[in-house]
Chain A
Amino acid sequence: MNLAVDGRQAYAYTAAHALDAAKPAVVFVHGAGLDHSFWGLQSRYFGYHGRNVLALDLPAHGRSAGPPLATIGEMADWVFRAMDAQQLPKAAIVGHSMGSLVALECAARAPGRVERIALLGTAYPMKVGEAFLEAARVNDQAAYDMETIWGHAPQVPLGGNPNPGMWMYGDTLARLARLAPGVLHNDLRACNGYAGGEAAAAKVKCPVLFILGARDQMTQAKAGLAFAQLLPGAKVVQLAPSGHSMMAESPDATLDALIAFLRA
């Protein structure tokens, strides 16, 4: 559905369902350079299983108008304004990679509006290499290649895709090809520059789930585990075969972990 946030067009996938105030809500926040459709299977499931779903396109991503938001904090505030636009007082927030930092910030900034957070493919700090940042800054193809290759487990190009007939590398490259120049750099810089993790973690009151890919090359599992130490009581699920794009690489296991967490 199209929304108006800050007077600009924004978009959220709702799994073809009108929002129902009587249902609990789950908000999905994508990672750097991506959009709502990266949550395709998982967001669709919850939309058809009793949840209001708002799988957002952050500004300048997918169907949402730009410009992009420069910091994780600005993105978190924008998520709340998108929820406001749909009269959603509170929701569980599920974030991937950059989106996981946004989910954390949301839980810290407005504990009363965030029922639980699931952080997928995450690390804190989420440092981005200088070469990656520079390639993205000049919109060099190498940046999209890094995002694609490091964004999946090493065996992905040689293995099978759980989604029949699809080529994960090609799909990621095609998504990135649709980005306006500068957007990937904006996102990577936001991740790299985010320094509020400890302070945010200290304010989190809601249940937290980490879903980590054991073969993640972008945000390594050990970094995700270290991050989880900042959030005592957080539940951690490691997906043995998965890399950073667990929603596509291990879609069923990712969904099952989310179902268990959101139903708890």
Chain B
Amino acid sequence: MAGPKYPGFDTLALHAGQSPDPATGSRAVPVYLTTSYVFRDSEHAASLFNMERAGHVYSRISNPTVAVLEERVAALEGGVGAIATASGQAALHLAVATLMDAGSHIVASNSLYGGSHNLLGYTMKRFGIETTFVAPGTPENFAKAIRPSTRLLFGETLGNPGLEVLDVPAVAQLAHGAGLPLLVDATFTTPVLMKPFELGADLLYHSATKFLGGHGTVIGGVLVDSGRFDWEKSGKFPQLTAPYAGFHNMDFEEESGTRAFLLRARREGLRDFGACMAPMTAFQILQGIETLHLRMPRHVENTRKMVQFLAAQAAVEKVVYPELPGHPNHALAQKLLPRGCGAVFTFDLKGGREAGKRFIEALRVFSHLANVGDAKSLVIHPASTTHYRMTDEDLKKAGIGPGTVRLSIGLEDAEDLLEDLGRALKASQK
């Protein structure tokens, strides 16, 4: 049945969250470099503090420029709202800290960005929040690890480093059956390639440092809520469904069932942990988002060419990319990621660590650094950098070989990237 039409994705990427500035007519999003906002009078001030009126009080809690980014990402993801944070790691921490206390438990995919693994496996453990890591390829692994104290299921839409495709619908169903929300890290896919909320995820976040910003200029994160998880019905989240002495005895779910999570995350998490985003950072990320819908297809197009090229090279033992028939999640990728499996992948060079080093050092266009999701092509050799202290045996446990190379494919001319890779492959085998 046909209904009225929503604005398209590309239009939202350019407009959602901002109308021309009423004071100046500025079409571009103004950068509000201000810490605080003048109250009209004492009653207005009190009403803002007590959430009786909408508006800004202090830029750690909200800022007009940052709010544009938050609303825009929420619009692109189909959420009720979002909170921008100082980094992707801060977004993950904010989600965890909002939902649980010491004694709580998380079931997470073991195919995670190393920083997320550190946060959950070591740091949060110091604060009494434990995580069980499970292989994400079998969704039932998540269900088997659930305990009475479990409060969250978590995975990456495309895992790290093996690009395991999270079966979001299956894991979400298992989570909901246990009265739990599913949080996904959607950094590698972006809303251009996957809309996790449409597949059943409840919360998601991005390291906006990567494809959303897209130009390798700023660090940031965005945490988005679908507003679909029923905290009251779950009965496992008194943080959201019982009066909170830390905010005027507010029962966040009672205030709004769809906004409860974001209310507490902003009113407690940003207020107390303080990992907010700077307005200039939000502006830079907004510049990136305005072309996200144009960049991602090009990232994918270039990546497919690199994958195809590398898979045919004698110096390459294997290429790990879900669009290849040999990838264990190939069929799932075709179902969940028909627009592409992103622009980050790994391949294994013959010749181990030394070959990896020679390969990296021979590259001219690819930049050797520890980041992904830039408009420029990037490369790193984990065995000689991020994981250099590990033995080959330990590397294997982490799913990394001595010759594993990770590429993040940018927007350059594909021919130049292919030439660069070809030359470096030759050098690696000398």
Contacts and interface: CB of A to CB of B under 8 A. Distances in A.
Given A170-B227, A252-B53, A146 B19 contact: no
Given A37-B255, A44-B52, A48-B52, A16 B243 contact: yes
Nearest to A159: B19
B2 interface: yes
Interface residues of B, number: 57
Interface in B228-247: 228, 230, 232, 243
A124 interface: no
Choose among A42, A155, A159 the residue with the greatest number of B CB atoms under 10 Å from its CB: A159
Nearest to A35: B257
B228 A174 contact: yes
A164 B62 contact: yes
B12 interface: yes
Interface string B1-37: 1111111000110011111000000000000000000
B80 interface: yes
Interface string A138-170: 101111011001100001011111111111011
B54 A163 contact: yes
Contacts of A13: 254-255
B48 to A, nearest CB: 10
A178 B68 CA distance: 27
Nearest to B226: A174
Contacts of B243: 16
B17 A160 contact: yes
A164 B81 CA distance: 9
A74 interface: no
B304 interface: no
A143 B1 CA distance: 9
A170 B251 contact: no
Q: Is the interface of B mostly helix, strand, loop or mixed?
A: loop
B285 to A, nearest CB: 14
B68 A48 contact: no
Interface string A67-85: 0000000000000000000
B248 interface: yes
Contacts of B70: 164-165
Given A44-B255, A45-B53, A170-B78, A142 B67 contact: no
A44 B50 contact: yes
Interface residues of A, number: 47
A48 B52 CA distance: 9
Interface in A94-150: 131, 134-135, 138, 140-143, 145-146, 149-150
A193 interface: no
* Residue picked from A41, A143, A251, most chain B C-beta under 10 Å: A41
Interface string A181-225: 000000000000000000000000000000000000000000000
Main secondary structure of the interface of A (DSSP, over half): helix
Interface string A240-264: 0000000000011001000000000
A211 to B, nearest CB: 16
A177 to B, nearest CB: 6
B256 interface: yes
B308 interface: no
A52 to B, nearest CB: 16
A159 B18 contact: yes
A62 interface: yes
Contact of B256 (A40, A155, A167): A40
B46 to A, nearest CB: 9
B67 A160 contact: yes
A20 interface: no
Interface string B273-308: 000000000000000000000000000000000000
14 contacts: A35-B257, A45-B47, A149-B4, A157-B6, A163-B81, A165-B82, A165-B83, A166-B262, A167-B16, A167-B80, A169-B6, A170-B81, A175-B258, A252-B53
Interface of B: 1-7, 11-12, 15-19, 47, 50-56, 62-64, 66-68, 70-71, 74-75, 78-84, 226-228, 230, 232, 243, 248-251, 254-259, 262, 266
Given A44-B50, A45-B52, A159-B17, 18 more contacts: A13-B254, A35-B257, A63-B232, A142-B2, A145-B3, A150-B4, A157-B12, A157-B15, A157-B16, A158-B16, A161-B71, A164-B62, A165-B67, A166-B81, A166-B259, A170-B74, A174-B226, A252-B55
3 shortest interchain CB distances as A-B pairs: A174-B227, A142-B3, A165-B70
